[in-house]
Amino acid sequence: MQSWEIFLYGYLAIGVLCAAVLAMGAWLEKPRDTAFSRDLIAALDERRRSFWYRLLSDRIVPALATVLIMLVWPVAVFMGIRDFRVRRRDKRALTK
């Protein structure tokens, strides 16, 4: 195996791990939707009823975001750490 192949596989492996960690963090922090909130959003936005819109918003966009994170994971890690620090600082400001 060539050295650039080893580097590429390592880079992509770290990207997969970063994407998994960021996705898990977003999933854990996501507020749970109630039936009322889903019905309200559906009533306000007629496009959400179409199959193609739901496919795009629920499957295609997250898949493209995952691929993007895999390719530019150093930026994603920096942004994730920055977001974590800002949220932690805001929580401290609220408790004071």
**pLDDT tens column, 9-68:** 999 899 889 888 888 877 777 777 788 877 787 777 777 778 888 888 888 988 898 888
d(CA 31, CA 28): 8
- Give the chain's count of helices (H) and strands (E): 5, 0
In contact, 69 and 18? CB cutoff 8 Å: yes
pTM (2 d.p.): 0.62
pLDDT band at 93 (very low <50, low <70, confident <90, very high): confident
> Do 67 and 23 meet the contact criterion of CB atoms below 8 Å apart?
no
